[in-house]
Amino acid sequence: MSDGNCQSDVNEPPCAKKIKIDEKNDNGVAEPVLELKDFIPSKILNNNTNRKTVCVQGNFKDKSGVALVILEKNAFKEDELDSKGYFSVESDLKTFFQNDIYGNFECFPKSSINGVKTTIIYPATEKHIAKFSQQEVHIIQETSDCYNKLTLPHIEKEQFNLQWVYNILEGRSEQDRVVYDNKCEKEGFVLVPDLKWDGLTKETLYLLAIVRQRGIKSLRDLDGSHLPLLKRVRDEGKKAIFEKYKVPGSQLRIYFHYQPSFYHLHIHFTYLRHEAPGIYAEKSHLLDTVINNIEMMTDYYKKATLPFTIREMDTLFNVYETNGYVQKIKPDIKLIDK
């Protein structure tokens, strides 16, 4: 644990909070109430049948601006697989067919366990629309020269607004969701449930460690001076998660994304049993591997060639396409597996 000014707090489990219309939350931040009954859908941006998620674009009645609603089927909770949950008298079966010992049905469980995880982004920007739209994906092999000449100038100009990050770090928002808080400005971080996690279901555990030190955008900025910070995030993050969720460090996947979805350094903590988005080789960099690389070469990530995936609607794609590194897939081109 920290000492001196590097204090830490472990909060109670996150709870649902209902915010009144036209009032501010406990931290004085205005948060308008949005009701799904007022949402008017206009376009389906992405329907992912593998992950059971869908992103719908539209707007809210009597409100200006575009909104995105992301719906995701929840994972099964093991403590609901009993006579009070899915096998209760309230569950109903619709029969599709029965043949000998085999039967195919659709189950309608009681409403209290039949929720759909819902994320609302409002007002949504063009960047958000591009991020959640279904589109072709490419891999870029980013050299240090490409980063300095192409990527860095672009992200400094086009990155998402980071106010929501600063709201968490400064205690203005989401404080009821904070799992762990090390307040040291140089080596401290806040550990919170990722938006993709409900904060309750162990099987899909997913948390973010957001560092307090500003000015570190991504892996590219890390060097030997950041090793104490990285080791503190790893060690204290593991301990906090074990104390709260009883998941040992050996069952945690701890990693960076590159490119990250926002450019303030953060580290992902997910349960190994959970196949979270962005855990694959073209996106994910394990924290222990990053620490080891920096210990071998202090400026490793300033010199290394790093791969990252890029989608055709991303504005960064246009930068790399203009400079001849990638080309859009034309609709009439048919890709043939060899």
The residue assigned the tokens 């998402």 is 160
285 is in an annotated binding site: no
Query: Which are the catalytic amino acids?
Result: 266
Q: Which of 265, 93, 98 is nearest to 189 (CA)?
A: 265
Q: How many CB atoms lie within 10 A of CB 305?
A: 11
Residue 198 marked in a binding site: no
How many beta carbons lie within 10 A of that of residue 228, not counting itself? 12
Report the distance separating Cα 86 and Cα 279, nearest Å.
31
* HSE toward the beta carbon, residue 9, CA cutoff 13 A: 13
Beta strands (DSSP E) in the chain are: 8-9, 39-48, 53-60, 67-73, 92-99, 102-108, 116-121, 137-142, 180-182, 189-193, 206-211, 252-257, 266-271, 284-286, 306-311
- Tens of pLDDT, residue by residue, the chain (338 residues): 344 445 444 433 333 333 333 445 555 555 668 999 999 999 898 888 777 889 999 999 989 999 999 998 887 888 888 989 999 999 999 998 788 888 888 899 988 888 888 999 999 988 888 878 777 889 999 999 999 999 999 998 887 789 999 999 999 988 899 999 999 999 999 999 998 888 888 888 999 999 999 999 999 999 999 999 999 999 999 999 999 999 999 999 999 999 998 999 999 999 998 888 899 999 999 999 999 999 999 999 999 999 999 988 888 999 999 999 999 887 544 444 44
Residues 6+ apart with CB under 8 A from 273: 203, 251
Angle at 109 between CA 106 and CA 111, to 5 degrees: 135
pTM above 0.75, yes or no: no
Helix (H, G, I), strand (E, B) or coil at 264: coil
Phi, psi of 147 (to 5 degrees): -60, -50
Residue 184: closest CA among 163, 210, 213: 213
User: What's the N-to-C CA distance of the chain in angstroms?
Assistant: 54
268 is in an annotated binding site: yes
DSSP codes joined into one string, 64-91: -S-EEEEEEEPPPPGGGSSTTTTTSTT-
DSSP code at position 330? P
Cα 106 from chain centre: 31
**CA–CA distance, 84 with 202 (Å, rounded to integer):** 19
The answer for 20, left when phi > 0, alpha when psi is -120 to 50, beta otherwise, is beta
Q: Which pLDDT does position 335 carry in this prediction?
A: 46
Give SS3 for 59.
strand
For residue 73, the model assigns a pLDDT of: 87
- Structural domains in the chain, sorted by start: 36-118 (3.30.200.40), 136-322 (3.30.428.10)
pLDDT score recorded for residue 26: 53
Cα pseudo-dihedral 326, 218, 162, 308, rounded to 10:
20
| pLDDT of amino acid 102 | 81
266 marked among binding-site residues: yes
**Whether 67 contacts 120, CB under 8 Å:** yes
Dmax (CA) of the chain: 70
Note the pLDDT of residue 120. 93
Report the DSSP beta bridge partners of residue 45. Answer: none
Determine if residue 114 is left, alpha or beta; phi over 0 gives left, psi from -120 to 50 gives alpha, anything else beta: alpha
258 is in an annotated binding site: yes
Question: What is the full DSSP assignment across 239-253?
Answer: HHHHHHH---GGGEE
Label residue 215 exposed, middle or buried (CB < 10 Å: 0-12, 13-18, 19+).
exposed
- Confirm whether residue 196 is marked as ligand binding: yes
